Structure 1
Amino acid sequence: MSHCTIFLYKYFPGKPRYQHCSFLHPLNHKLKSLFLPITGSRFLSNSTFSVSDSAHSHQAKPHVRNAQFDFKAYMLEKITAVNQALDAALPVREPVKIHEAMRYSLLLGGKRICPIVCLAACHLVGGDESTAMPSAAALEMIHAMSLMHDDLPCMDNDDLRRGRPSNHVVFGEGATVLAGYALIARAFEHIATATQGVGPGKILRVIGELAQLIGAEGVVGGQVVDLRCGGEGQMAIGLEQLEYIHLHKTAASVEASAVAGAVLGGASEEEIERLRKYSRSAGLLFQVVDDILDVTKSSEELGKTAGKDLAAGKTTYPKLLGMEKSREMAEKLKREAQEQLLGFDPIKAAPLIALVDFIAYRDK
C-alpha cells in the first residue's frame, strides 16, 4: 500500500479514524483538551475541512474532490508519535537532576506545532516522515529551551507554563539555564546521529537552519529587541518593530521547521522558498492570535498567565492596532499562508492548510 493510499485511508472520511492513534505515553491522555469543540462566531465548529473548498480545489482528484480532511485524527496521531520520539530521545540518566529538568519542560504537553510542520513539509514534497522525525524532535527540544528561558525572572518572568509551574519554579533558575543549554546540545546531537536515509549534505543544511533559528538572527535577536522595547520605561515600538520581534521569535521557529522537513524530503529550492513564506505568515498568525487570546481568555483557559504582557506595558497587536484590526490581520495572514500552498498536491497539502485554520481559530 502506497504512502498516499495510507494517508487517504487514515485522514479522510469513510474509514475508521482513530484506530491508528496510539496513547502509549502518559502525556497523550492530556491531548483531547486541545481538540474539544470550539464555540463562538470566529472559531471553527469542527476539525475537518473540504479539499474542494480549499485553495487547491481546481487541482483535486475526482475521487477525493469532496473529501473532508480529519485534522483531529491527524493531530492526535502526529502528537502521539512526536511525544513517543521525544521520550525515547531523552531518557532519564546521570546526572539525574538536569535530565529531569530537561524532560519536565519537553514532555509537559503543548500543540507540537513545529514538529508537525516539519513532518507535514517532508510529506508534502514526497519524503518519508520517518526521515524527518529526528529533526522534528530536535525542533521541539529547541522550542522547550526557548520557553524555559523565556519564563525566567530576567526575561519575561512567568511562573506558569502549559498549566503547570514553570521550569525555574520547580528546579531553580540555575538548573533551568543549564537544562536549556543541554537541550540545545541534545537537539543537534540527535539530528546528527539519528537521521537516516539522506546524505550528509542535507543533514548539514538542516543543522545550519536550526543554528540560525537559535542565534542572533533568530530567537536571540528577537528576544533582545523584545527586552528593550515596549515595557514600562522602555522604548515604544510600532508595527514594524513588533513584527521584527515575532518574525525572529515565533515565526523563525515555524520557518526552520518547514525548511528542515522540506530539505529532508527532497524539495526543490522553489518549493523550499514557498514553504518559507508559508511558515512566516503562519508564525506571525500564531502570535497575533496569541495576543488576542491573552486579552480575551483567562489564565485557567490558556494554561499560562493571561494579561501579563498588558500588565507589563508591553506592546501587543491588540494594544497597537485594536481588537478588530488584529482580527483582520489574522485573517490576512491565514490567507497568505494558504496561498503559498497553491500548486502542491492538494491531498498532501491538506495538513498544512488545516494547521493554519487550527492556529487561526484556536481558543488556547
Structure 2
Amino acid sequence: MPGNTFGQMFRITTAGESHGPGNVVIVDGVPPGLPLSVDDLKPDLARRRPGQSKIVTQRNEADEPEILAGVFEGKTTGTSIAILIRNADQRSRDYADIKDKYRPGHADYTFDAKYGFRDYRGGGRSSARETTARVAAGAIAKKLLGTVGVKIVGYVKQVGELVADVPEPAAITLEQVESNIVRCPDANVAERMIELIERLRSERDSIGGVAELVATGVPAGWGEPVFDKLKADLGKAMFSLPAVLGVEYGAGFDVATLRGSENNDIFVPGNGEVQSPNIKTKTNRHGGMLGGISSGMPIVLRCAIKPTSSLPQDQPTVTRQGEVTTIATKGRHDPCLLPRFVPMGEAMVAMVLADHMLRQRAMLPV
C-alpha cells in the first residue's frame, strides 16, 4: 500500500503536491454529531500558512479550507469528511533550473530512485505543502479530543544554540506561544531567536532547532501494549513530517546518564484530577507514557528539526546523469522551519491521540 493513509479508527488519507491545484484530505472515523465548520479549521491553518511573518517563507497562500463532504447543518454526519485547500501562489518557473539537478538535503534523488521520475516543482509530493491537509485534519482531531478535556500545545524550545527556559511545559498556554512570531514562550530568548533567524536569512543560510509538544488531560490507559504503543505511534507520526531528524519523549536521551533510582518516577496519591483521580507520579521523566500506555501525566515530546535544505547560495551537486555541477535554489523558503512546524506537530499528536481515544472507547467492557 502506498503510504498516504495514517491511523486506524481516526484515519486520514491525503493527496496533493506543492505546485498542483491543491491538497486534499479524507478523514474517516469522526463520530456523528460533532459541531464542525471551516471556522474550526482556519486558526491552525493560519498558524501553518506561509507569508505570516518576516521570518518565514514569503509564498502568499491564504489556505482557505473547503469542506466538501461529511458535514451537514454544521455537524459531522459520521461519514467520510473531505477537505480541500487550494494552492494559489505557485511559481513553478523558480524550479526550472533544477529539473535535472539534485538539491542537497532534499528527496530529489530518492524520488527518482523510487519512481523513475519526479515532480521537480518545489519537491512535489515530498514538499511540506502537503502538511496543510494534515493540519486541517488535526484541527478536527483537536475538537474531538476537546470533548474529553484533552489539550495540545506546541512551541519552539530551541533555535540553534538558543534554548528557551520552560520549567513547566504543561503550564504553557497557546496565548504565550502566539505572543511572538517565533512561537517561543520564553520572551527574552524569543527576541534573540528572531535576530538569529533574520541574520541567517541575510547570509542566505538557515538554522535548525527543537520543538516541544505537550498534551494535557490525557487519561491513563490509552495505547496498546506491543506494536501500537502510544509512544511508537507518536514517533511514527513525528517522523512522517518533513525535516524531523530526531524524536524523544520525557527525559529522552538524558536517561543515558541516569541510574534507575534517579530515573524512576515515584507513584503518589492523586488529587482527584480527571485524568488520574487516584494515582499520579511525583515527577514526569517518563513523559506521560509507561509501557506505551498513557499514565495520566502530561505527554511531552520533542522533535529535532533540521535547517532548511533549500539555500539561495551555490552548492556542489550532480545531475541525473551523475555530472558534477552546482545549484542555488530559487524560490521562497523558510530560513528556520520551527515556527511553522509547531501547528504541524500539534496536528499529528492530535490525530494519534484521537485514534487511541476511539480505540480505547471501542474496547471497553460491555
Task: State TM-score, norm by structure 2.
Answer: 0.28
Q: In proportion to residue count, which structure has more helix? A: 1
Q: In proportion to residue count, which structure has more strand? A: 2
Greater Cα radius of gyration, structure 1 or 2: 2
Task: State TM-score, norm by structure 1.
Answer: 0.28
